[in-house]
A = this chain, B = another copy of it.
Amino acid sequence: MQIIAIAALSLDGFVTRHDSEGNSFTSAVEKKHFSRVLKTFDCSVFGSVTFEAARNQIEGHLSADRLRIVLTSRKEDYAGNSRGGMLEFHAGAPQAIVSLLRDRGKTRCALLGGGQVFADFLRAGLIDEFWITFEPVFFGSGKRLLEGCLDWPLDLIGIEKLGGSVFVAKYRPRIH
């Protein structure tokens, strides 16, 4: 199972513009890039806040080609939203989620946040690559990429320009 974390940030490290949830601040080239790369994954994992922020987009694009797992401790709240094999709601530690995906025959997972999900999978040593799109804007405030305090080194794999002033930097977290 290959797990790749994907996030778009302001230059000063925020994943939201101030208190506005969601990725409305990201550029057209980033949205196009994200949509294109997502097609190369057979599953994705994200938290319930991320789900709520992009709910219409997600529910409007469900397909059996990619299983979406929403991590939540309140599975019962979403009982009516679950669509087996396409959109499912699960509780559990990162390793348990990965086992679940493996059991379904999945091989390539896009990890989409938020901050607690990224930090939990990073600490569990489960992230193979971290792709960060840097949007050319300063926000000064907003949600952070990662929850909690850590000191995690990474190695740069490469930089890919998306167009305009937007680029993706791809990293491999070190094992430690």
> What are the residues of chain B within 8 A of A159 when measuring CB–CB?
159, 167
CA distance A154 to B171 in the complex (A): 24
The reply to whether the CB of A79 lies closer than 8 angstroms to some CB of chain B is no
Which of A6-14, A33-41, A62-70 is found at the contact surface with chain B? A6-14
The reply to whether the CB of A86 lies closer than 8 angstroms to some CB of chain B is no
The reply to whether the CB of A73 lies closer than 8 angstroms to some CB of chain B is no
A132-151 CB contacts (< 8 Å) to partner B: 132, 134, 136-141, 144-151
Contact B138 A156 (CB under 8 A): no
Besides the contacts A9-B13, A140-B146, A156-B164, what 13 more A-B pairs have beta carbons closer than 8 Å?
Answer: A11-B13, A11-B145, A11-B169, A13-B13, A13-B145, A134-B169, A137-B152, A137-B154, A138-B152, A138-B154, A140-B148, A154-B165, A156-B166
CA distance A14 to B146 in the complex (A): 12
The reply to whether the CB of A153 lies closer than 8 angstroms to some CB of chain B is yes
